[in-house]
Amino acid sequence: MFRKYLITGAAGFIGSNFVHYLYRHHKDIEVTVLDKMGYSASPLNIKDFQQYPGFTFVQGDICDPVAVQTAMQGAQVVVNFAAETAVDRSIDNANSFLKTDIAGVHTLLQEARRQKQLQRFIQISTDEVYGHVLEGSFHETSELKPRNPYAASKLGGDRLAYSFFVTYGLPVIVTRASNNYGPRAYLEKVIPLFITNLIDGQQVPVYGEGKQIRDWLFVEDHCSAVDLLVDHGVNGEVYNIGGEQELTNMELTGRILRMMGKDKSAIKFVQDRPGHDFRYSLDCSKMRKLGWKQRYTVDEGLEQTIAWYRDNEHWWRPIKENMDNRYLAGFWGDKK
Ligand SMILES: NC(=O)c1ccc[n+]([C@@H]2O[C@H](COP(=O)([O-])OP(=O)(O)OC[C@H]3O[C@@H](n4cnc5c(N)ncnc54)[C@H](O)[C@@H]3O)[C@@H](O)[C@H]2O)c1
């Protein structure tokens, strides 16, 4: 069955993996990508999509109603990955987060109301909207207590999308995913930063004592979950999507070091981030009831990710050379 998708933010990490996932798993589709090409976007991701039939790229901002109208024309499915995503940047200044992660979502939702053929609007939210949890796991009904400006802005978009379901009957689904890793992630994120530093023989910065716990989701598993929700999710519902594989930052670092043949002398401990959430943990039984499960262990996902960065230096080398190092781990230490 023919289907037309609008995927926003697909010049970035998860959205780009999702577009490749769609073309690998579906025939007879058209995909339009709307992306403003911010600092975390890669033109090489867009170039890779040109191989696909029915692919169109619109460079524009989700806050711009004209760009949104052009890109959404005729779409049956909208998946909104576009966002300001870096917690450290939001702590420094949250203006762009309020614009994109709340007002931008509103612009998309308003246009979606005019697209009468629209069957699904998926708002990609985050587990950070729950805040952190010391014991147990978050369910979709858990209290929402975001603890940094990124998470608070994402919660604005998350609930705004839900309000369009309740108020206007828009076919909205909200997903809350845990920490993703995999190919094509911007190098500020911990895993690609560590891998590329180690390829270059540099140290890796670990916040505080590295005791924080994160749940790691391989991006391919995230894509399969979102794809499943397009057909089988229930409008108005929220779905947690996690790896259900929790590691302390030190455990994660140890695995990457071992896989890349390095030892602990490659670690540099740096001052902790203010308000650093201690642990995130998601209960994903609602997704499993739909028939989804994760296919990748952390070790399998990390091996694939390391291999991708080793094989695709042409993708990340220019990014690394032009990166604003103020926002790398260690940023807070440097500000003392
Ligand atoms: N990375 C994770 O671990 C994670 C976990 C849970 C949820 N999420 C959510 O998944 C989505 C994608 O995250 P990511 O890691 O791929 O981020 P990313 O930073 O790699 O990509 C974001 C993309 O959105 C684009 N963008 C930003 N502002 C825009 C705007 N105003 N208009 C149009 N395009 C804009 C950027 O240019 C970039 O290409 C985000 O909504 C994020 O909140 C990410």
Assigned domain for 287 exists: no
Which helix (H) or strand (E) segment holds residue 15: the answer is: helix 13-25
230 and 258 assigned to the same domain: no
Q: Is 83 in the pocket of ligand 1 (CB under 6 A)?
A: yes
221 and 323 assigned to the same domain: no
Q: 3-state secondary structure string, 234-295?
A: CCCCEEEECCCCEEEHHHHHHHHHHHCCCCHHHEEEECCCCCCCCECCECCHHHHHCCCCCC
* pLDDT tens-digit map of 72-114: 999 999 999 999 999 989 999 999 999 999 999 999 999 999 9
57 and 117 assigned to the same domain: yes
The answer to whether residue 324 scores a pLDDT higher than 90 is: no
Assigned domain for 101 exists: yes
| Length of the chain measured in residues | 336
**Residue 12 Cα, ligand 1 centroid: separation in angstroms?**
6
Confidence band, pLDDT 50/70/90 cuts, at residue 332: very low
29 and 163 assigned to the same domain: yes
**Residue 128 Cα, ligand 1 centroid: separation in angstroms?**
14
**The ligand 1 atom nearest the CA atom of 16:** 16
CATH number reported for the structural domain that contains residue 26 in this entry: 3.40.50.720
What contacts 231, CB < 8 A, 6 or more positions away? none
Nearest to 150 by CA among 45, 40, 234, 65: 40
Assigned domain for 258 exists: yes
147 and 7 assigned to the same domain: yes
Q: Is 177 in the pocket of ligand 1 (CB under 6 A)?
A: yes
For residue 271, what pLDDT is reported? Answer: 86
Alpha-carbon gap, residue 226 to 135, rounded angstroms: 27
Q: Is 12 in the pocket of ligand 1 (CB under 6 A)?
A: yes
Average pLDDT, the chain: 95
* pLDDT tens-digit map of 143-193: 999 999 999 999 999 999 999 999 999 999 999 999 999 999 999 999 999
135 and 199 assigned to the same domain: no
For residue 273, what pLDDT is reported? Answer: 77
**Residue 172 Cα, ligand 1 centroid: separation in angstroms?**
19
Nearest to 250 by CA among 180, 190, 171: 190
Nearest to 29 by CA among 8, 11, 7: 7
Nearest to 10 by CA among 184, 129, 228: 184
201 and 223 assigned to the same domain: no
Range of the domain at 263: 187-214+247-278+297-329
For residue 274, what pLDDT is reported? Answer: 77
Q: CA 101 from chain center: how many Å?
A: 13
Q: Is 240 in the pocket of ligand 1 (CB under 6 A)?
A: no
Q: How far is CA 10 from CA 96, 118, 133, 236, 267, in A?
A: 18, 20, 30, 24, 33
Alpha-carbon gap, residue 313 to 108, rounded angstroms: 35
27 and 99 assigned to the same domain: yes
Alpha-carbon gap, residue 189 to 194, rounded angstroms: 9
Assigned domain for 19 exists: yes
139 and 261 assigned to the same domain: no
Choice from 7, 8, 13, 88 to test ligand 1 binding pocket (greatest atom count within 8 A of CB): 13
Confidence band, pLDDT 50/70/90 cuts, at residue 56: very high
252 and 129 assigned to the same domain: no
* pLDDT tens-digit map of 262-284: 999 999 999 887 777 789 899 99
Confidence band, pLDDT 50/70/90 cuts, at residue 329: low
DSSP string, 127-145: GGGG---SSS-B-TTS---
Is beta strand 77-80 parallel, antiparallel or unpaired with respect to 120-126? parallel
Choice from 7, 14, 57, 173 to test ligand 1 binding pocket (greatest atom count within 8 A of CB): 14
**Residue 104 Cα, ligand 1 centroid: separation in angstroms?**
12
Q: How far is CA 62 from CA 8, 217, 290, 318, 319, in A?
A: 8, 26, 30, 26, 24
Number of structural domains found in the chain: 2
Backbone angles phi, psi at 121, to 5 degrees: -125, 110
**Residue 258 Cα, ligand 1 centroid: separation in angstroms?**
30
Q: Is 42 in the pocket of ligand 1 (CB under 6 A)?
A: no
Q: Is 100 in the pocket of ligand 1 (CB under 6 A)?
A: yes
Q: Are 173 and 78 in contact (CB under 8 A)?
A: no
**pTM for the predicted model, two decimal places:** 0.96
Cα Rg of the chain, angstroms: 19
For residue 249, what pLDDT is reported? Answer: 95
Assigned domain for 288 exists: no
Catalytic annotation, residues: 127-128, 150
174 and 195 assigned to the same domain: no
**The ligand 1 atom nearest the CA atom of 104:** 31
For residue 258, what pLDDT is reported? Answer: 98
